[in-house]
Each structure stands twice: as C-alpha cells, then as structure tokens.
Structure 1
Amino acid sequence: MCGIHVSLSSAPRDIPEAVKTCLRNRGPDFLGQTVCSNDASLAHCLTFSSTVLALRGDHLARQPLVSPDGRTILCWNGEAWRLDGHRIEGNDGEAIHDLLTKASASDASSRQDAILNVLRAIEGPFAFVYYDKSMEKLFFGRDRLGRRSLMLAQDGISGDLVISSIAEACDLRWKEVEADRIYVVDLGPGSPVSAALLRQPVKHEWLAEEHIDFVSSIGRFNKALPSDNSALASTSPSVAMLKDRLLDSLRLRVLHIPPPPLASPTSVRLAILFSGGLDCTVLARLTHDLLEAEAEIDLINVAFENPRVVARLKKEANGEPVDFYEACPDRITGRKSFAELEAVCPGRAFRFLAVNVPFTDTVAHRRQVISLIYPHNTEMDLSIAYALYFAARARGVAVGTDGLMGAPYESPVRVLLSGLGADELFGGYRRHSVAFSRKGYPGLVDELLLDVSQLSTRNLGRDDRVMAHCGKEVRFPYLDECLVKWAMETPAWEKCDFENGEDANGIEAGKRVLRLLALELGMRGVAQEKKRAIQFGARTARMECGRVKGTTLLS
C-alpha cells in the first residue's frame, strides 16, 4: 500500500501538510519526491511524490521509481499478483517499472501500445501514474475493479492537474478516476501550458481487442437457464471448484507477508475483518489450512455505542446493567463463529479482537472520516466507513476462547483480509431472492450480471482511503480476477438455486455454493448464518437520529 501524489503545474508544487500527513499514514516506511521539467518551451513541470508501505520483496523499494536515465517515472500503489497469468516474485512495483521502461524503449510507432499492453496484463489491485519523458505522455488509472483509490482534480484557472490517492480538499474539483479505462494525457510540444493541462485525457480500453460481451474486462457472464431442477449439494462440482479457486486466491494474499516493524519472527502478520458472517469466516478457515502451524491470526470485530440503541436497551433492562457492545449483532455472531473456528482448527492461535467504540470516539473522528470518504458524502457512506475505519485501527481487547476479556491489545498487522465481493458473485443480497421470486432465473441472472458489472463503480476507492489511513492494506480474496472470471462463467443455479429454498441442513439458497463449502469445512453454524449489512451488524447506522436516511447528505 502506498500513497500517490502527482501534480502538473507551471512550477514545482508543494503538497499541503494535511495531505502529506495522510499520505504518510498510507505509507509510513518512506516518502520520496521527484521533480521533472519538460522542454522549457512548454513551461510546465511534473512533481511526483510517493509514500511506501513495504509489503513485497526483501527490501524497501523507494518511490517514485525512476529509470537510471530519468526517462521513465512510476508511482505505484497496489499488488500485482500476476502478469499474463504468471505470479510476480519479489517487489512488484520494481518489476512493473522495469517492464514499462523496456516498453518505452520500443519503436516510436509501437511504444504506446507496448506500454498499454504491460498495464493490461496486470492482475491485482492497483493505482498508478506513469510518465514517459521521450513520448511526453502521462499514463494513469486504477485496476479493472477499482480496488485502490485514485483521485483527480483540474483547476480551470491555474491549469494545474493533480492526481492523488486522496483529495486535497472537499470541493467540487475532485473526482474519483473511473476504473473502466487507462487514461493518457498528451503533453507534447506546441501547446501552451494551460491548453495542455486542460486537455481531456484520452481513454484506452483495458482489453486490447474488442470484447463487447466481457464484463469488467474480465470475462463473459453465463446467462444460461437451467433445463431442469438440480439442487446444489456438498458434492456438487461448483463447491469443490470454488474451494480450489479461493485457496489459489488466498495463497497469493496470505503467504510471505513480511513481519511488521519491531515484531518477533513468530508474531501475527495477518488480520481478518471479522463480523462472524459466512464470507469472512470461510476466509479464516481456509487461511488456517495455508499458514504455518505457529502463525497467529487476528480476528477484528467492531461494536459501537449507538446512543439510540443504548437508550432502548437500558429501557428494556429495567435498571439492570447492560453491556451494549456485547449486545451488538456482529459481536454475538463474531463470538459464535470464533468458537466454531476454534473447534474445527485445533492448535491455531486465533485472537478475537473486540474493538469497542464509544460514541465520544465516533464524534471525535467524524471530520477525519468524512474527509477520507470524499467525494462520497451520504449518511450510509459514513456509517460503513466508521466500521471500517475503527476496525483498521485495530485497537481493542483480546478475547480468550473462554469468552473472557483479556488485556488491551493493538494488532501490529499491516495486512487485512475482507470478505467483500462474495454477495455480488454468489447471490447473497435480498434483492437476488426478490428478483428470482418475481421473474425466476431470468430475473436472477439479470440481477447478478448487474451486480458484477457494477463492481468497479462501487465503493472500493472509498473503503481503501478509510483503511489505508491506518497504515493497513486491505486484500479482497473474493475479488481475485481468476475467481471473478470463474464465478461469472458459472451458471446461476450452481451458485444460488433459489427454486429449492432452504435445504434439510438449514442452508438457505443465497450464496448456497459458499454455504456448502462452509459445511464441508466443518462449520455448520457459519453455513446457516444470515446475511447482515455491516452498518447494522456493528450498529453504526442512524447513530444520532433515528429518522436520518442513508441517502441523506452529510452536513
């Protein structure tokens, strides 16, 4: 995880101190800056700044990455897990920069296509800004699914262009870079600086060839309808195939994580955002199969003091003491799933981290969280962001297997796993069952296709800004390109067979393929767990006024 800040202006441009602090929070290991001035006749310069959170390779790769001759510069924020289907060993930022530099040495007529093809071959979450001085072109963008943040602002008066991981100010100039294209700004000679800077970036497709039926530039969605009723079971091929692909995704994301600074060799290196629900608990269970026996895993579970809910609980308690944190739905589910994990994973040192957030803390961090989620600005955005923000801070109390609170604990990990994406891929939302009840499989297929096609426009940039501010990198195993491609190509009834309803084991149809995998892994309680939105499970929704709607704009 890194912080990117690149400005194109008539003179070197200083980063505002508040922004520099946020960038350092994203990448506390190193802050670097490179200033590149073009031909004097163009009268503009590029200022590249990067901060680094070192998680790949055996050394700190200082950024911005600059070629020995200074002709190419790369600011890289992300994880290139594969290139053309092959895993990248060592530091991925350096590997990508080397390939881009070689592409920049191609014949002038094919140079841009060579650069675009390198970028198109990357699998993984990333945002980047790349400059080729010989071409006088600036390339930038986010990965196909938009898993890393990148913001853009153009000043119509000064002509300045700024590309950054975070917005410098909450004003209308700033917008998120769309994840559907690679963007190129031509800074060639013959244009005054204002005209050059205000020129619209040219968009280049993620796919080099035309595939109009590809979804998110990843694969074709299977719209087939079943010819008969075939109920999903633990022995169904899709269950075993999901397990294999999820294990492949997890291997990339949980193995070879370097130890946190000042940590002992056996210290915990990985934490899971843990509500106790199906998606995150399956990740924890499979991660147990991959990590060495002595590795610890932190399970971060957040619960909030919601004044509106607390008042109701106190009234219902008739004067008796009430622990409103322990009464949070996600805390109840989290403890239950934690106990089940302990039972099926003997010997694994899982640590349940109970993060209890007083209302005073929520209020104290309100302005900070609002600035991080911008340009998202609704009450629902804030409710979700609160839960992610305090989970990423990872400060709470360790809970033992006996359920008793232990000592205060702050997790030192720098890598978080999130279960996001499973609902969209496997039909876990209520709207999926509603679509089936109204129009059968044709309605369900349309709804699943819509969800997958909108993954890149969802809120992953917002979530990245919130959690990266705490010096953490969040990884999404369900959003691995290979897994997403397989899920799109798998017929709907092999993921969620709503026509069969709840089965004899109490397994509901939504995300049935994942529930059956949980059952096969020995977690019956988890397999039966109902879906619940994070803002309701952690009780961050409607904290100050019960009548406020999720769509209400923040003031």
Structure 2
Amino acid sequence: MCGINLIINPKEDGKSTIQKMMQATQHRGPDFSDFCQITEGVWIAGNRLKILDLSASSNQPFWSEDKSCVLVWNGALYNYQDLRNNLLDLGYNFKTNSDSEVLLLWLKHYGSDKISELKGMFAFVFVNISLQQITIARDPSGEKPLYFYQNEETWCFSSESRGVLAGFGKEIKIDKSQFLPYFYSRHSFPDRSFYHDIQQHLPGTGLTLDFNGKTVRNFEWTQPKFIQDVPSQEVFESKLKDAVLKNFHAERPVGIILSGGADSSLLYRLWTEETSQPVATFTAAFEQKYQAKYKDPVFAKKLTSQFEGFHTEVLVNPEKIQKHWQEYIAGMDQPIGDSAGILTWLIAKEAKENVQVLISGAGADELFGGYTRHSAFAKYLKNPKFYLQIKKLSENLPFPRPYKKFLNGIDSDPERTFLNFASLLNIPDDEYSKFQLWYPKDAGIFQNALNFDRKYFLVNDVLKIHDNVCMTQGIEGRSPYLDFEMIQWTKGFSEDQTLFYSSKKMIKEALEKRGFAKIAKRKKIGFGIPIKEWLQEDESFRKWVFGTIKEMNAKWAADFPREMQQIAEAPEKVFKDQFLLVWNLFILASWLKNQE
C-alpha cells in the first residue's frame, strides 16, 4: 500500500536525507508523498497508494487531531472495523473512514500492549510526541518488508533497502557473505540484505526508541494457537471465505493472479460464489508449443468462462523477457533467485491499467504442505531407516534425477533431511549451522518443516517477490491464505492432523465438490517460466544468460561458495540438469551489474 521512511540523528542534513529516501520509495505510493520533522533529529516520510478512503484526509504522514501522535505505515488492517468499534466505545471520534486512523488511535491508546489484536499485513513507524517515543514493528507473517541501518545513535528505517541506500549509499557495499544463502536458498538470510550494514527487521518483532535513538523496549508476538478437537472441511472453507472477502475489501479495483492451479483457483471460485460479481483475472501464457506442459491458460479460461471479458492472458516469451529485463532488474530491491519474479512483474505491468490490488495464492503450500518436498518428507518420516538403506544401495545405480535428489538429501537427522529437500543443493557440512539457526524447533517434526518454509522461504522469496514487483507498478499485493485467523487455526493442528491434511487436501476437496476436480488433481509444476526449454532451444537467449553469468564470475568468483564457482564458471556444462541454479545466478549477475 505504501512506503515508509524514518531517520533518527542523521549524519548529514535531515531534510535532504529524508527527501532522498522518500523519492527512492515513491513507486510504492504513487498517489501522494510527504515528509515532516518531528524534532531536530527525527524525520519521517510516507508514500501513499490509495486503497481505502481515497480522500486527502488519509494521506501520510497521518497525524492525530491533537498533534500528539503521527503515523507512517504500509499494509492493510483487515479487522479495522472491529478495532474502530472498540475505540468508539472508548470515546474516540473519527474524521476518516480509513484503517490508517484506526491504527494510529489504537497505538495511541494501547501503545504496543495490544499489538497482537492487529489482524492484517503491515510495517509501521508510530511516533508518540507526548512520550517522546517511536515504535517500529512488522507483522508476524512478514507480508510487508522493513529494512534498517544503525550506526552509533543513527537509525534509518525504510520499506526497501533502496530507501536506506538513498541516505547512506556512499558508505554501504555489497555483503559478499550473502552469496552463500543465495546459492542454496535463493535469497539472503532473513535478518540480512545484500548490502553491508543494512539489516531486515524480522517479522513479528518491534522496538520502541526514544528521540535520541536509545532503545526503550524490544517486543515480539505471533498468532496464538486456536485449539480444536478435529479440524473440519466446513470450518476451513468458512475461514477462507471470510479471508477472501476481507482481502477484496478496497475502494480501488481488485484483480487475481490465476496460475490455473488449486490455490488461486479456489480463491476466485469463493469470491464469485459469495458475491456473484466478476473480478479481473490475469494468467501468464507461453508459446503454443509449450502449452502441453504449461497449461495454466487452459485451466484459467475454463474457471473464468462464467464471466467473459474479465480475463487477460499475458503472453510471455524470451523476446519479451529480454526487452523488459533491465527495467525489471532496476526495480528489484534485493536479488531473489526465482523466475516467478519476472512472471509476476509482467502480469503486474499489464494489470496496473485496470487494478490497484492483486490477489495471489501465496502461503497455501506452506500452510497445507503443498510442495513436492513436503510429500517427499512425509514419505521419509514413515520409515527413515528404510530410505537410508535405499540411499546406500543407490549410490552406484542410475536412478532418474528427481529420485536421486530425493535420496541424496536423506540424512539420519530429519531436520537436516528437510533442509536438504528445501535447498537447491545439499548444504555443505561446514556451512550447515548457518542455515540450521533459522529452523524452528517448537512443534512436531513435520510441522517444524512447514513452519520453516513459512518463516524462511515464504517471507524471503514468495512474499518479497509479490510485494516488490507489485509495488514497482503501483499495485498492492495481498494473500488471503495468510489471514491471521487462518494461520491461528492451522497452528492448532496436531502433528498427525498436519500430516493428514497435507498435500492441500482441504483446498483440493473444496475445488472437487465445486466441479473443478481437474484443477484439484493437476500435477504441480510451480509458478515460473520455461527456463529449461528456452535455454535448450533458443541460442540467443542461452548466450545472453551464460554471458551475463560469466561476466559476474570474472569479478566475484573468489567470494562464491565452491559449488557456485563451478556453475558460474561454465554454465553451459550443467544447464540441462541445473537450469534453476543457472537462472538464479543470472538474476544475481544482472542485479550486481545494475549496482555498478
């Protein structure tokens, strides 16, 4: 929805610094931008994309009537009407119909004590001038990003690392240590960025600072468990319907990215079922010769046939990728090795002519065990010793590559096994502890695996792509499966229940009973471009990709992990089997080149 910026005790002129930061994040809020000085050493700025209450009275920075508090924030509160009623009972009056005013008055009244009652996606900076305190926080699902820089008494916060760079770019260099997680995980570690000294504010955490930049309080929170006896299909569908209606609530046009798969298809079907209203839908389509494998347009067209004229197919081919690549990379705040990025960017570029909110199915796989690695891990957990024996026997046998990867990833330690499954290659022994730090240990074995994907992969890959590429086009991305109450409900599952309902059993059942069994039973191929086919069949595309990687290797090879060096040095030798790794290196190479 917006971009937020805060600077405390700037090293240079505060006014010019906050203006540079605001301008660097202006794409996040194309409808309005402004800044203000709180005290001599505190400046804030906001960029607004208007979604609710389109009037100027909801512009940011958003001040309380008595000028005692001010807010800049990014996101949406889906329970703002309930919170508003609570505040009305306490005697508060409202001058707008926005969730911004609700958030400001809630924080003014309760501080951070009742932050757990905020149900939505958000990152915010709230200044209480009366108390001379600044509270900064990010929601537990990590849907909205937040970066910061700290040096002695200076603090700088922004929705994007480029916002921080705008104030301190001359001092900050590439963090070479992040090549390691990028190669194995597609992104930096969750608390870091690809810039030295620019860190990420972790989801579900907050801090309160005084006007001198001294820490008053650190706090954290998460969605509490909803304890239940037996999860039911009826409750699932009811909660998801509620989440859909809340996410679609906006005063600007809303659309859906339809992959033709189960997750986004069910969101679309529930919306039309509940409202009988059409909604703009967008699906990526590839050349005719690839449609036997990449059938998204076929399934999406059948799903949307009830409302003709609202569905758009976005043709994607190598020529289009090359034409727009530099613009895409220039808008990439942090490198993420996932071809879903350029695909989502091209869809958002087309969609911005018609909508300002884009709904996606993000989060469904992580909540309900929908990835191939989840089914592989569930299979392994049934009999680990058996699969360890098979692994030993298979060392010299010509197993097909998918089976080989499955067997190579198996370890006597379930945690190590899943980390291998979740990584593009098995993590080396001497680097394993760096990844293990991010692995949850507070639930069942299978639940911990899903929680790892939700807190590590989902936040730093899927959601960051969705936020970044949508915001470059002035669009807000939303994910109904990550509704506060949906997460709370699934956290109440037992280990056995989580396993039983994995492979997205509830999502598929909901589609089947609505007559979409073919969509429910589709083989999962992932949301991305036909990298393997393009690299094999298009010489121009292949040379472009390989040449860019080799340029990067000539400059950075000494800082790469060993396996990364080998691929970057000769991508043409491995691309048929390791096409995903090759594409990820191409993204990184393009981003690094753009930094120059």
1:72 aligned onto 2:69: yes
Q: Structure 1 residue 476: deviation in Å?
A: 0.8
CA 1:520 to 1:323, structure 2 compared with 1: closer, same or farther past 3 Å?
A: closer
Q: Structure 1 residue 351: deviation in Å?
A: 2.5
Alpha-carbon distance in structure 2 between the residues aligned to 1:473 and 1:538: 28
CA RMSD between the two structures = 3.3
Alpha-carbon distance in structure 1 between the residues aligned to 2:49 and 2:321: 27
Alpha-carbon distance in structure 2 between the residues aligned to 1:217 and 1:360: 45
Of 358, 362, 368 in structure 2, the residue corresponding to residue 426 of structure 1 is: 368
Question: Which residue is equivalent to 1:204?
Answer: 219
Q: Structure 1 residue 100: deviation in Å?
A: 2.4
Q: Structure 1 residue 429: deviation in Å?
A: 1.1
Of 160, 163, 172 in structure 2, the residue corresponding to residue 166 of structure 1 is: 160
1:181 aligned onto 2:205: yes
Alpha-carbon distance in structure 1 between the residues aligned to 2:372 and 2:28: 35
SS at match of 1:517: helix
Question: Which residue is equivalent to 1:120?
Answer: 116
1:149 aligned onto 2:145: yes
Alpha-carbon distance in structure 1 between the residues aligned to 2:331 and 2:199: 13
Q: What whole-Å deviation, never above 9, does each CA across 1:18-55 have from its counterpart, x for those lacking one?
A: 85455332212211211111xxxxxx422211111111
Alpha-carbon distance in structure 2 between the residues aligned to 1:538 and 1:124: 35
1:510-525 mapped onto 2 (5 Å cutoff) = 510-525=503-518
Tell me the matched-pair count.
444
Deviates more, 1:240-249 or 1:88-97: 88-97
- Structure with the bigger percentage of helix: 2
Question: Which residue is equivalent to 2:314?
Answer: 355
Alpha-carbon distance in structure 2 between the residues aligned to 1:497 and 1:182: 35
CA 1:285 to 1:301, structure 2 compared with 1: closer, same or farther past 3 Å?
A: same
Q: What whole-Å deviation, never above 9, does each CA across 1:351-397 have from its counterpart, x for those lacking one?
A: 2212123445434544554455444x35x24x2321222221125xx
Q: Structure 1 residue 154: deviation in Å?
A: 2.7
Q: Structure 1 residue 473: deviation in Å?
A: 1.0
1:338 aligned onto 2:341: no
Q: Structure 1 residue 237: deviation in Å?
A: 6.6
Question: Which residue is equivalent to 2:492?
Answer: 489
Question: Which residue is equivalent to 1:404?
Answer: none
Q: Is the 8 A contact 2:22 2:47 kept in 1?
A: no
Q: What whole-Å deviation, never above 9, does each CA across 1:305-328 have from its counterpart, x for those lacking one?
A: xxxxxxxxxxxxxxxxx745x638
SS at match of 1:243: helix
Alpha-carbon distance in structure 2 between the residues aligned to 1:328 and 1:20: 46
TM-score, normalised on structure 1?
A: 0.71
Question: Which residue is equivalent to 1:4?
Answer: 4
Alpha-carbon distance in structure 2 between the residues aligned to 1:512 and 1:179: 28
Q: What whole-Å deviation, never above 9, does each CA across 1:259-285 have from its counterpart, x for those lacking one?
A: 4xxxxxxxxx22111110000001111
Q: Is the 8 A contact 1:76 1:129 kept in 2?
A: yes
CA 1:83 to 1:486, structure 2 compared with 1: closer, same or farther past 3 Å?
A: same
Q: Structure 1 residue 99: deviation in Å?
A: 2.5
Q: What whole-Å deviation, never above 9, does each CA across 1:474-525 have from its counterpart, x for those lacking one?
A: 1111000111111222346656638xxxxxxxxxx71112111100111111
1:291-306 mapped onto 2 (5 Å cutoff) = 291=275, 293=276, 295-303=277-285
SS at match of 2:506: helix
Q: Is the 8 A contact 2:116 2:223 kept in 1?
A: no
Of 75, 91, 101 in structure 1, the residue corresponding to residue 98 of structure 2 is: 91
CA 1:2 to 1:120, structure 2 compared with 1: closer, same or farther past 3 Å?
A: same
Question: Which residue is equivalent to 1:24?
Answer: 26
Alpha-carbon distance in structure 1 between the residues aligned to 2:325 and 2:155: 29
1:537-552 mapped onto 2 (5 Å cutoff) = 544-545=545-546, 546=575, 549=581, 552=585
Q: Structure 1 residue 69: deviation in Å?
A: 3.7
Q: Is the 8 A contact 1:78 1:124 kept in 2?
A: yes
Amino acid in structure 2 at the alignment position of 1:79: A
SS at match of 1:487: helix
CA 1:393 to 1:22, structure 2 compared with 1: closer, same or farther past 3 Å?
A: farther
Structure 1: which 5+ runs fail to align? 38-43, 104-113, 188-195, 207-215, 225-235, 260-268, 305-321, 396-409, 499-508
1:13 aligned onto 2:15: yes
Q: Is the 8 A contact 2:362 2:479 kept in 1?
A: yes
Alpha-carbon distance in structure 2 between the residues aligned to 1:461 and 1:75: 20
Q: Structure 1 residue 71: deviation in Å?
A: 2.4
Q: Structure 1 residue 90: deviation in Å?
A: 2.9
Q: Structure 1 residue 177: deviation in Å?
A: 1.2
CA 1:370 to 1:58, structure 2 compared with 1: closer, same or farther past 3 Å?
A: closer
- Structure with the bigger percentage of strand: 1
CA 1:290 to 1:87, structure 2 compared with 1: closer, same or farther past 3 Å?
A: farther
Q: Is the 8 A contact 1:392 1:470 kept in 2?
A: yes
1:286 aligned onto 2:275: no
Amino acid in structure 2 at the alignment position of 1:126: F
Q: Is the 8 A contact 2:241 2:270 kept in 1?
A: yes
Alpha-carbon distance in structure 1 between the residues aligned to 2:309 and 2:494: 36
Alpha-carbon distance in structure 2 between the residues aligned to 1:471 and 1:525: 35
Question: Which residue is equivalent to 2:521?
Answer: 528
Q: Structure 1 residue 74: deviation in Å?
A: 0.5
Q: Is the 8 A contact 2:62 2:71 kept in 1?
A: yes
Deviates more, 1:275-284 or 1:83-92: 83-92
Amino acid in structure 2 at the alignment position of 1:354: E
TM-score, normalised on structure 2?
A: 0.67
Alpha-carbon distance in structure 2 between the residues aligned to 1:387 and 1:161: 35
Alpha-carbon distance in structure 1 between the residues aligned to 2:19 and 2:64: 28
Q: Is the 8 A contact 1:426 1:511 kept in 2?
A: yes
SS at match of 1:394: helix
Q: Is the 8 A contact 1:7 1:162 kept in 2?
A: yes
Q: Is the 8 A contact 2:284 2:296 kept in 1?
A: no
CA 1:364 to 1:140, structure 2 compared with 1: closer, same or farther past 3 Å?
A: farther
Question: Which residue is equivalent to 2:240?
Answer: 246
Q: What whole-Å deviation, never above 9, does each CA across 1:245-272 have from its counterpart, x for those lacking one?
A: 11111111224x224xxxxxxxxx2211
Of 73, 77, 82 in structure 1, the residue corresponding to residue 79 of structure 2 is: 82
Q: Is the 8 A contact 2:285 2:297 kept in 1?
A: no
Q: Structure 1 residue 161: deviation in Å?
A: 2.2
Of 291, 302, 308 in structure 2, the residue corresponding to residue 327 of structure 1 is: 291
Amino acid in structure 2 at the alignment position of 1:351: F
SS at match of 1:219: coil
CA 1:359 to 1:160, structure 2 compared with 1: closer, same or farther past 3 Å?
A: farther
Q: Is the 8 A contact 1:142 1:177 kept in 2?
A: yes
Alpha-carbon distance in structure 2 between the residues aligned to 1:54 and 1:244: 29
Question: Which residue is equivalent to 1:394?
Answer: 350
Of 340, 347, 356 in structure 2, the residue corresponding to residue 414 of structure 1 is: 356
Alpha-carbon distance in structure 2 between the residues aligned to 1:521 and 1:182: 43
Q: Structure 1 residue 538: deviation in Å?
A: 8.3
CA 1:446 to 1:7, structure 2 compared with 1: closer, same or farther past 3 Å?
A: same
Question: Which residue is equivalent to 1:402?
Answer: none
